[in-house]
Chains A and B, each alone.
Chain A
Amino acid sequence: MSSVGIPLGNFFFPVNVSNRAFLPNKFNACLDRNAQIWTQINSKGGLKAICPGMKYETAPWVKMPPQAKRFSEINSIPLPADNGTDTLVLSFLVPYGYDGVAVTTVANYTGQGFVEGSGDLTWRIQLNERYVKNYGNLQTQVGSLTIPTNIGNSVRLLSGQLVQFFVNRRVNSISLTGGRIICALLGWWWPR
C-alpha cells in the first residue's frame, strides 16, 4: 500500500500510527519563532553581517585588500637524519585578529641524490592539528625561492592558527647527500 494515507474530507487520514499527524503545540510555535528570527538574520546577510569587523568588497583571499600585510615565512635546515620522523622546518602563528592566505609555497632540497616522487623526502603543511588538503603528503619539490609556485588552491589561514611545515626523510634513504631543506610560505593577512 502506498504511504499517502486514506482521504478523509479535505484531510488525509494516516495509514498507521507512525504516520499520525499531531496538532502543532506551543513548543512548535516556539521553534517556528526561532526559525523566523534566523530567516530574518540570514536575509540581512547572516551573523557575519551583524558581527563587528571589516567588510571587503572582494574576497580578501583572492585580491589583497589595502589594509592587508604581506608575509614571507622562509626557513631552511640541514638535511635531517634518515629516521622517518617529521622534522619541523618552518613554524609561525597567524596574528590574532587577522585572517590570511598563503598563495605561494616553496618546498626545496638543495643537496644531491633526490629523485622526485621517490618518497625519500616528504613535505607536509599542517594547520593546527590538520594537514592541508593535498599538502599533507608532498613527495615532489614545489617551486623555488627565485621562481615560487602559486598554489592553485590557496591555503586560507585563520586568526591564531599554528602553521607548521615539516619534512620527513625516509628510513635508509642513503642516496641523499648534503644540502639543505628549504620551506617557505608567502601570502598576506588582513584584519578581520
Chain B
Amino acid sequence: MQDVVMLPQVVDGFSYNSNLLWVQGRYWPNAIAQMDILRRAANFRARWFVFPDDIDQPIQPYDTAYYETQVNGGSYLWGLNFASISATNGGEPAETTAADLLIQIEDSCTGIPLYQDYAQAAGNSANFNSRCLPVLLSQPRLILDPGNITVSISNRTGNVITCQLLLHFAEPCRIITEENRQKALRMIGGAR
C-alpha cells in the first residue's frame, strides 16, 4: 500500500477565506488542490495584470480588442476575474453582463491558447456562489521566457461596453546578492 503523506495546511489567502466552504465534489477546492505545489513553493509573489489598463477604454460594438503584456519568465498564471462594467447604446445607458463578451488568452511564446476558441466571459466571472472569486484555472499555467501574453476581448453586442479582465500570476522572485548587484551596476556604468 502506498504511503499517505500528510502535509500541514498552507497559510495563505485561500486558507484565510472564511467564506469558502470545502465541498469535495466542487471545482474550486479541487482546483486549489492542483495549486498545492505552487502555494508551497518559496519566493513567489503575486503579480496582477489588467486588460485594458484604462477601465474607461470601451470595446466598440461587434469589435475585438487586442492587448499584450509581458510577465517574467517562469511565472504561473493561476486565476482570472472578469467584469463587465457599463454599456451604452447610441449614447444611452444599456444593460450589460459578462455574457456580452468573449475572451481569449494566449501565451504568445508557445502560441498555445488557454481556450480552444474564444470563451464566454460569463464563465470567467464570479457569481459569488458556485463560481468563486477569483476563477481558478484547473491547473496553473507556466509562462516561459520571454513571457508574452496576448489577450483578446470580443464584444458580441451592438453596445459600447467597458469591461476589465484581471489575470493573477505568481511571479518568481530573484534573489539579488551583493555580487550580482555590483556586477549589474558595473554593466550600467554606475559602480560605486
B112 touches A22 (CB 8 A): no
B118 CB to closest chain A CB, in angstroms? 5
In whole angstroms, what is the CA distance A94 to B109 when docked? 27
Assess A10 versus B154: contact at CB under 8 Å? Given A24-B42, A35-B144: no
Partner of A133, one of B41, B61, B63, B112: B63
Nearest A residue to B74, CB-CB = A35
Taking CB atoms, residues of chain B closer than 8 Å to A131 are: 62-64, 154-156
Bound CA–CA A25/B37 (angstroms): 10
Chain B residues numbered 59-112 whose CB sits less than 8 Å from any CB in chain A: 60-64, 74, 76, 102, 109-112
Give CA–CA (A49, B171) in the complex, Å.
Answer: 28
- Given contacts A23-B42, A130-B156, A133-B63, is CB(A10)–CB(B179) below 8 Å? yes
Nearest-CB residue, chain B, relative to A48:
B111
Taking a contact as CB atoms under 8 Å apart, the answer to whether A22 and B43 are in contact is yes
CB pair A47–B110 under 8 Å, yes or no, is yes
Chain A residues with CB under 8 Å of B64's CB are 130-131, 133, 136
| Interface residues in B153-192 (C-beta closer than 8 Å to A) | 154-156, 173, 175-179, 181
0 or 1 for each of A15-55: is its CB under 8 Å from B? (1 = yes): 00000011111011011001100110010001110000000
Is B38 interfacial (CB-CB < 8 Å)? Answer: yes
Given contact pairs A47-B110, A158-B117, A38 touches B144 in the complex (Cβ within 8 A): yes
* B residues 1-57 in Cβ contact with A at 8 Å: 37-38, 40-43
**One of A9, A30, A129 near B102 (C-beta < 8 A):** A129
Docked pose: A33 CA to B173 CA in angstroms: 17
Docked CA distance A149–B175 (Å): 57
The reply to whether A27 and B176 contact each other, CB–CB distance below 8 Å, is no
| B interface residue numbers (CB < 8 A to A) | 37-38, 40-43, 60-64, 74, 76, 102, 109-112, 117-118, 120, 142, 144, 154-156, 173, 175-179, 181
26 sampled A-B residue pairs with Cβ under 8 A: A4-B181, A10-B178, A12-B178, A21-B173, A21-B175, A22-B42, A24-B42, A25-B41, A27-B37, A27-B38, A27-B42, A30-B41, A31-B37, A31-B76, A42-B109, A124-B62, A129-B120, A129-B156, A130-B64, A130-B102, A130-B154, A131-B63, A131-B154, A131-B155, A131-B156, A137-B61
- Top 3 closest A-B pairs, CB basis? A136-B62, A22-B42, A27-B41
